[in-house]
Structure 1
Amino acid sequence: MVMEIKELLDVVLVPSSLTLMFGYHLLLLYRVLRWPETTVIGYENHNKKAWVERMLQRGAGDCSMALDVLSSNLSAATYLASISIALSSLIGTWIGSTSSSNIFRSSVIYGDVTPSTTSVKYVTLLAFFLLAFTFFVQSARHFVHANFLISTPDCEIPVGYVQRAVIRGGNFWSLGLRALYFATTLLLWIFGPIPMFVGSICMVAMMHFLDTNSTPLLQFGSSKEGKALSQRQRQRRLHRHDMPQMDPSSQLVSTMQYTDAMQITATT
């Protein structure tokens, strides 16, 4: 009877956890496509487009700042890809070792601990780590392509090409993080279906908080308008600074002289 209840927990709670995670991400995808300004992904993509446009206006000879930013994103994607493939190798070795697999087949775990279910746990966990590795590699590939485009000398690269490469790199980066989130939830399944279900609820609540954007989108004006505005403000400040400052008594005398002159003109 106890074994039947444990197996029933895996049958009910594990699909519920996966449905909760997949359902949230489908809702997030719908929001990104329909109302991107309400999500952090859409907010960041909007800012990335403006950043690429400003960097290309500086010319290929002054692109060191843009290359530094892209290189930092490239390094982060490469680092997480290395971690994902290392964890995948570790889990693959663990699956191949029959003695170490018996560690999590203890009666302490309240759930199905049969060898077939344990193998499914490891295989699904391995699949999501490999998926995260693939996404991070694709992210690094697009950032490298953006590096080539933005540093091409003596060539008018369309802004849309570089924007597409940078945004795709960021999107694959987000997909890699989502795969790691799924892997974290599946890692809790090793300790039983109840920790996995509780972890999936906490994960969805945390992701909803992190993915929701309440900041309005910044409307980036053209650089020419910004320069003209700053130049007008600078000229206005210089004009105020150069104007002679009169004391109150001098201003009163000038006003009285002007009034007397107007009265004389009126009587004549």
Structure 2
Amino acid sequence: MDWKPSYLDLILVPLGFLISISYHVWLWHKVQTDPLSTTIGRNAHGRRFWVDAMMKDIERKNILAVQTLRNMIMGSTLMATTSILVSAGLGAVISSTYSVKKPLNDSVYGAHGEFMVALKYVSLLTILLFSFFCHTLSIRFLNQVCLLISIPVAEDPVGILTAEYLTELLEKGCLLNTVGNRLFYLAIPLLLWIFGPVLVFLCFVAMVPVLYNLDFMCQKIGKGRGEENGNRDFV
């Protein structure tokens, strides 16, 4: 059987995706079992104390709470805007008849057919649209928290606006923001796929140690009351 250029795409691209997915599955397992060893778990643990501290003295800290949430909303808005702008540009490229849709030159490894080129652009467009979707949902939840956290406890006789409820809304917004960012990072290897599958695989391999240094804490906390509370609070 003769070797075909498309075999590189069939081998390297799924292998790169497998490496990235395996890392994030392992990260999710660590967040559930040992959250304080990850930045995601520690940040979630800290946000619970932050909501409780803001609500205990909301009359004096309402401006601080709203400004903090506004900064988070601005970050999600920036990422959502970037994702939809890139998606609009890719949509224009896909629908056009320009030669930019064609392979750059014959020296690029991998398949050069029209179907493969279309698959590259459509895959990148899909990932960016999902990233935009996650960031817009994150903005929705953060706006709700920004509105509800400034309400004094005395103005809620039913007792619905508790710290637990606001923490749950805040965690949903932060989780969607994290997922949107990871999907945006995933678009980088897919963008390099235009230049060939080898760069896709190398980019996926290089992203794992970078994400590891961002996701895990070097300083460990000893087992005790703090770790037990962290494991209980996160789930």
TM-score by length of 2: 0.87
Measured on the aligned residues, the alpha-carbon RMSD in Å equals: 1.9
The aligned residue for residue 107 of structure 2 is 108
Task: Write the mapping of 1:160-175 to structure 2, written as runs, cut at 5 A.
Answer: 160-175=164-179
How far does residue 102 in structure 1 lie from its aligned partner after superposition? 4.0
- In structure 1, how many angstroms separate the alpha carbons of the residues matched to 2:128 and 2:101? 22
How far does residue 165 in structure 1 lie from its aligned partner after superposition? 1.3
How far does residue 103 in structure 1 lie from its aligned partner after superposition? 4.7
The aligned residue for residue 232 of structure 1 is none
Tell me the matched-pair count: 218
- In structure 1, how many angstroms separate the alpha carbons of the residues matched to 2:45 and 2:99? 48
The aligned residue for residue 39 of structure 1 is 38
- In structure 2, how many angstroms separate the alpha carbons of the residues matched to 1:210 and 1:204? 10
Contact 1:95/1:101 (CA < 8 Å) preserved in 2? no
Work out whether 1:69 is the aligned partner of 2:68: yes
One of 169, 192, 199 as aligned partner of 2:196: 192
How far does residue 108 in structure 1 lie from its aligned partner after superposition? 2.2
Contact 2:104/2:195 (CA < 8 Å) preserved in 1? no
Deviates more, 1:162-171 or 1:82-91: 162-171
- In structure 2, how many angstroms separate the alpha carbons of the residues matched to 1:127 and 1:102? 17
Gaps of 5+ in 2: 227-235
- In structure 2, how many angstroms separate the alpha carbons of the residues matched to 1:58 and 1:214? 34
- In structure 2, how many angstroms separate the alpha carbons of the residues matched to 1:122 and 1:50? 43
Rg larger in 1 or in 2? Answer: 1
The aligned residue for residue 12 of structure 1 is 11
Residues 51-88 of structure 1: CA distance to partner in whole angstroms, max 9, x if unpaired?
A: 11111111345411000000110111111101101111
Gaps of 5+ in 1: 220-268
Contact 2:141/2:169 (CA < 8 Å) preserved in 1? yes
TM-score by length of 1: 0.77
One of 163, 167, 182 as aligned partner of 1:178: 182
The aligned residue for residue 212 of structure 1 is 216
- In structure 1, how many angstroms separate the alpha carbons of the residues matched to 2:101 and 2:58? 61
The aligned residue for residue 96 of structure 2 is 97
Contact 2:128/2:183 (CA < 8 Å) preserved in 1? yes
Match of 1:28, as an amino acid? Answer: L
- In structure 2, how many angstroms separate the alpha carbons of the residues matched to 1:53 and 1:214? 28
Match of 2:6, SS? helix
Match of 2:191, as an amino acid? Answer: L
Task: Write the mapping of 1:235-254 to structure 2, written as runs, cut at 5 A.
Answer: none
- In structure 1, how many angstroms separate the alpha carbons of the residues matched to 2:103 and 2:67? 45
- In structure 2, how many angstroms separate the alpha carbons of the residues matched to 1:206 and 1:140? 27
Residues 4-60 of structure 1: CA distance to partner in whole angstroms, max 9, x if unpaired?
A: 342111111011011111111111111111211111100100011111111111134
One of 159, 163, 185 as aligned partner of 1:159: 163
Relative to structure 1, the CA distance from residue 196 to residue 35 in structure 2 (aligned partners, 3 Å threshold; closer, same or farther) is: same
- In structure 2, how many angstroms separate the alpha carbons of the residues matched to 1:131 and 1:60? 38
The percentage of aligned residue pairs carrying the same residue is 29
